């Protein structure tokens, strides 16, 4: 049973860089799955941020692409998210999730508990 655990600073200053880590346990990070980040501003819907494969291949949301970097460290079984030049609009709960590439339609079949990041001075 794969489990995902996000961690990182809960408070980031405006214009700074948001950094989060997702540790993958109970399964191989190098399996045939992509790993993704999704965020949810307070009281709002879900927004896809981007995804990464264990080879390092990435895809990003075009609306965030200029500010986002997703990386993978297979030795630590973790996926990382960096979002630069943050503003209050980036305040959200950030989720790490697994995309099951075996299932048709690439569903997000496993989610972390989420990490709240507030952007404020």
Using CB under 8 A as the criterion, which residues of the chain lie in contact with another protein when the complex forms?
Answer: 36, 38, 44-48, 51, 59, 61-63, 95, 97, 103-109, 111-114
CA distance 19 to 42: 19
Let me know the angle formed at the C-alpha of 52 by 57 and 74, rounded to the nearest 5 degrees.
95
Looking at the Cβ atoms of 29 and 37, the one nearer to another protein is 37
Tell me whether residue 51 or residue 90 sits nearer to another protein (CB atom).
51
Tell me the C-alpha distance between 118 and 111, whole Å. 20
CB 53 to another protein: min, Å: 11
d(CA 50, CA 99) in angstroms, rounded, equals 11
Shortest spacing between CB 106 and another protein, in angstroms: 6
Q: Least distance (Å) from another protein to the CB of residue 119?
A: 21
């Amino acid at each position: 049973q794969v489990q995902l655990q996000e961690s990182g600073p809960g408070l980031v200053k405006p214009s700074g860089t948001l950094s989060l880590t997702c540790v993958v346990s109970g399964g191989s990070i190098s399996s045939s799955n992509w790993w993704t980040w999704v965020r949810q501003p307070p009281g709002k819907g879900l927004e896809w941020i981007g995804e990464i494969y264990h080879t390092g291949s990435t895809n990003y949301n075009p609306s965030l692409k200029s500010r986002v970097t997703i990386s993978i460290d297979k030795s630590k079984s973790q996926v990382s998210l960096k979002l630069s030049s943050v503003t209050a609009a980036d305040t959200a709960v950030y989720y790490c999730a697994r995309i099951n590439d075996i299932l048709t339609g690439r569903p997000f079949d496993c989610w972390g508990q989420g990490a709240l990041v507030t952007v404020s001075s």
